[in-house]
Amino acid sequence: MTLNGAVSTEEPSQRAASSERKTVVEVEDLTVSFGQGRGSVRAVDQVSLAVHAGDICAIVGESGCGKSTLAYALLDIVPPPGRVTGGEVRFKDRSYSKMSKQELDDLRGAQISMVFQAAMNAFNPVITVGTQVMHRLQAHREAFASPAEGRAYFEHLLNLVRLPPKRVWPAYESQLSGGMKQRVAIALALLLRPSVVVLDEPTTALDVLNQRLILEILKDLHRNLGLTIIFVTHDLAVVAELASRVAVMYAGRLVESGTVKEIFSAERRHPYVTALIGSIPTVLDSGLHISPIPGQVPNLAQLPPGCRFAPRCPLARPLCTQAEPPLLGDEHHHAVACHVVNEHLQVIEPDEGTAGR
């Protein structure tokens, strides 16, 4: 059985309290495929993940690893020709596969929302931000007692993302800077008061100052609104700054999951995660030092046998090219999928009552 991919962020003395929190988003053996027949590839391959209320969960990996596809699946909006071909996604114990189209439409935005990677995609360029907000409020009349109340709440959100409502409300998308667009996109995603927000690369294409500002804003929103945050990134610095839990993907599979401390500091770590951390540029006395990961991410249509990271792995053994390693957790449910790393450790595969804690 596969271990769910989000584990407790607290020290052992706090884990019992953490396990009492409700699971809000749960993915079980999810597979998302593109194409048909022999040409079909699995962008997400049998991934399991559990996110509890109040988590800040990072989904990490190189480009093409399937992290954004997984994020889309969390809202059941995988773009065609992609489709879910196995497993399921549950929101507060309700399976998407058992919901009607109307129920899914009602779920998105009001209970779980998304901020897409390109902020400009959140805007209609020919109408003002204020007009767009009013259109959304008209489409969801049940969200507020009146349009005036909805506008007041959006202006409150603008203040939370550190933007002046009087400046933003009459503005067109073209009149906003990149950093402003990202912050308005976050406010729009929160308009219907969802409890969970998914962000795809929230700091990509922003300068360093705006990146820092977005991270501070997300921390404030998490604290002030009680949000559960799931964010996709390839930036380990952002993970260290913001996340409490981390799920690392490689070639469509989940290869490690744990707390931030476990991912960055534990001795037991997947070789890919070790290589990712080692590839972070550092400035030494001799100048800038970069340690790139050798080789290339495998083509999903031509995956190597056994472990998908084996052709690039310094620890690879014959077994690694013969069998795909299971994702196994230790006594703290820090999970790693590696034959070599798990060889001499007492590992556990949790039962239904402990999975994902």
Q: What is the pLDDT of residues 167-190, one digit of tens each?
A: 999 999 999 999 999 999 999 999
pLDDT band at 10 (very low <50, low <70, confident <90, very high): very low
Stretch 82-92: mean pLDDT:
96
Can you tell me the mean pLDDT for 323-349? 83
Residue 294 CA, chain-centre distance (Å), reads: 26
Q: In which band, very low, low, confident or very high, does the pLDDT at 9 lie, cut at 50, 70 and 90?
A: very low
pLDDT at 282: 75
* Percentage of the chain modeled with pLDDT above 90: 76
CB atoms within 10 A of CB 7: 27
pLDDT band for position 345 (cuts 50, 70, 90): low
pLDDT over threshold 60, residue 336: yes
pLDDT at residue 11 above 60? no
The pLDDT assigned to 136 comes to 94
pLDDT at 14 over 90: no
How large is the average pLDDT for residues 12-28? 68
pLDDT of residue 283: 67
Per DSSP (E only), the strands in the chain are 23-34, 41-52, 56-60, 83-91, 94-95, 112-115, 196-200, 228-233, 245-250, 253-259, 282-284, 287-289, 328-329, 335-336
Per-residue pLDDT tens digits for 108-151: 999 999 999 888 888 999 999 999 999 999 999 999 999 999 99
% of residues, the chain, pLDDT over 70: 89
Q: Is the pLDDT of residue 296 over 50?
A: yes
Residue 12 above 50 pLDDT?
no
Q: What is the mean pLDDT of residues 79-96?
A: 95
> What value does the mean pLDDT of the chain take?
89
Instruction: Say which residue, 179 or 280, is predicted with more confidence.
Output: 179
Q: How confident is the model at residue 329 (pLDDT cuts 50, 70, 90)?
A: confident
Q: Note whether 313 and 307 are within 8 A (CB).
A: yes
Which pLDDT does position 34 carry in this prediction?
Answer: 95
From residue 137, how far is each of 47, 150, 341 by CA, in Å? Answer: 35, 7, 52
Residue 291 — very low, low, confident or very high, per pLDDT cuts 50/70/90? confident
Q: What is the pTM of this model?
A: 0.89
Question: What does 114-147 look like in DSSP terms, one character per residue?
Answer: EE-SSGGGGS-TTS-HHHHHHHHHHHTGGGSSSH
pLDDT greater than 90 at residue 39: no
